[in-house]
Amino acid sequence: MMRKMNLKKMAAEKAVEYVEDGMRVGLGTGSTAYWAIKRIGERVREGMTIQAVATSKASEKLAAEEGIPLVPFHQLDGLDLTIDGADEVNPELSLIKGGGGALLREKIVAYHSKQLIIIADEHKVVNTLGAFPLPVEIIPFAHEWTLGSLEKLGCSPQLRTDNDQLYVTDNGNYIADCRFGEIADPAKLHQQLLYIPGVVDNGLFIGMADRAVIADSDGTVKIMERPLNR
Ligand SMILES: O=C[C@H](O)[C@H](O)[C@H](O)COP(=O)(O)O
């Protein structure tokens, strides 16, 4: 069987075939998006011209090292394509994202992209979202009360830590990882979460991904399409 890392690379490199000369491109975050950024870097060095924005400080640093031209947001009125990873993908291409803590910037960038392509290995494909704890970005102020409100929605929120310190996002916020179990109605939960003051956003991406490029351990790459395009 192929190693997981190779599957991520396979999916990422297939997705980068959708990047065309002259495009404005959003760069995702995480260990799968890493391979996409590396491949985009290669294509830029081969002569492809693009303008890019990144969804995290880590991806921005990697893109700069790769020589990918990063432009300030005010210079662009949107993006043609964003390539990003996910923690779970269901058959409607609804997603859980944010395992790497970048969900807010990722959602902003995805929202302003004409196309969002998700890259993942087959282990991320699920029938029902929710086995992966849903990351919820919350502001530090009164976060104890915000956690209480999350709990009332039926989960046991866990404040994310990193080396025994509270994990802080690129935006200066905390992440509450929320185990809801199977999420029967992701759109409803999304609304309920956004209703809570102190919640900035959450890792549910609904109706945003246009296709998912999935690498299987048998060595094939399959493309899942969302039936209705935005
Ligand atoms: O916050 C991080 C992002 O949403 C990632 O794209 C997601 O967690 C998947 O990451 P990975 O490709 O490392 O599994």
Give pLDDT tens digits for 162-194. 999 999 999 999 999 999 999 999 999 999 999
Residue 224: which residues within 8 A CB-CB, separation 6 or more? Answer: 89, 91, 93, 125, 211, 212, 214
CA 164, 169, 174, 180 dihedral sign is negative
Q: What is the DSSP code string of 17-58?
A: TT--TT-EEEE--STTHHHHHHHHHHHHHTT---EEEESSHH
Instruction: Work out the angle between the directed axes of helices 4-16 and 33-45 (0-180°, nearest 10).
Output: 50
Atom of ligand 1 nearest to the CA of 97: 4
> Which pair of tokens denotes residue 30?
């995480």
CA of 33 to the centre of ligand 1 (A): 8
Query: In angstroms, rounded to a whole number, what is the distance separating the alpha carbons of residues 111 and 117?
Result: 12
Chain centre distance of CA 66: 20
Query: In angstroms, rounded to a whole number, what is the distance separating the alpha carbons of residues 147 and 173?
Result: 13
Residue 228: predicted pLDDT: 65
CA of 217 to the centre of ligand 1 (A): 19
Exactly one of 60, 88, 106, 137 is catalytic; which is it?
A: 106
Residue nearest to atom 2 of ligand 1 (CA): 100
- In this structure, are residues 183 and 137 in contact, taking their beta carbons and an 8 Å threshold? no
Residue 158: predicted pLDDT: 98
Percent of the chain at pLDDT exceeding 90:
96
| Look-up of token digits 């929605």 | 153
∠ CA 212-115-170, nearest 5°, is 85
In a mutational test of the pocket of ligand 1, which residue from 32, 37, 60, 168 has the highest number of ligand atoms less than 8 Å from its CB? Answer: 32
Query: In angstroms, rounded to a whole number, what is the distance separating the alpha carbons of residues 198 and 3?
Result: 40
- Output the average pLDDT for the chain: 96
CB 83 less than 6 A from any atom of ligand 1: no
CA of 85 to the centre of ligand 1 (A): 5
Domains for the chain: give ranges and CATH numbers.
Answer: 4-126+206-225 (3.40.50.1360), 134-201 (3.30.70.260)
Atom of ligand 1 nearest to the CA of 28: 6
Query: In angstroms, rounded to a whole number, what is the distance separating the alpha carbons of residues 55 and 5?
Result: 21
Verify whether residue 13 is a known catalytic residue: no
For the entire predicted model, the pTM comes to 0.96
Give pLDDT tens digits for 59-96. 999 999 999 999 999 999 999 999 999 999 999 999 99
Kindly tell me if the per-residue pLDDT of 1 is higher than 90: no
Residue nearest to atom 9 of ligand 1 (CA): 86
CA of 138 to the centre of ligand 1 (A): 18
Query: In angstroms, rounded to a whole number, what is the distance separating the alpha carbons of residues 140 and 158?
Result: 14
Atom of ligand 1 nearest to the CA of 32: 12
Q: Which residues of 75-84 are buried (b: 16+ CB within 10 A; e: fewer)?
A: eeeebbbbbb
Kindly tell me if the per-residue pLDDT of 30 is higher than 50: yes
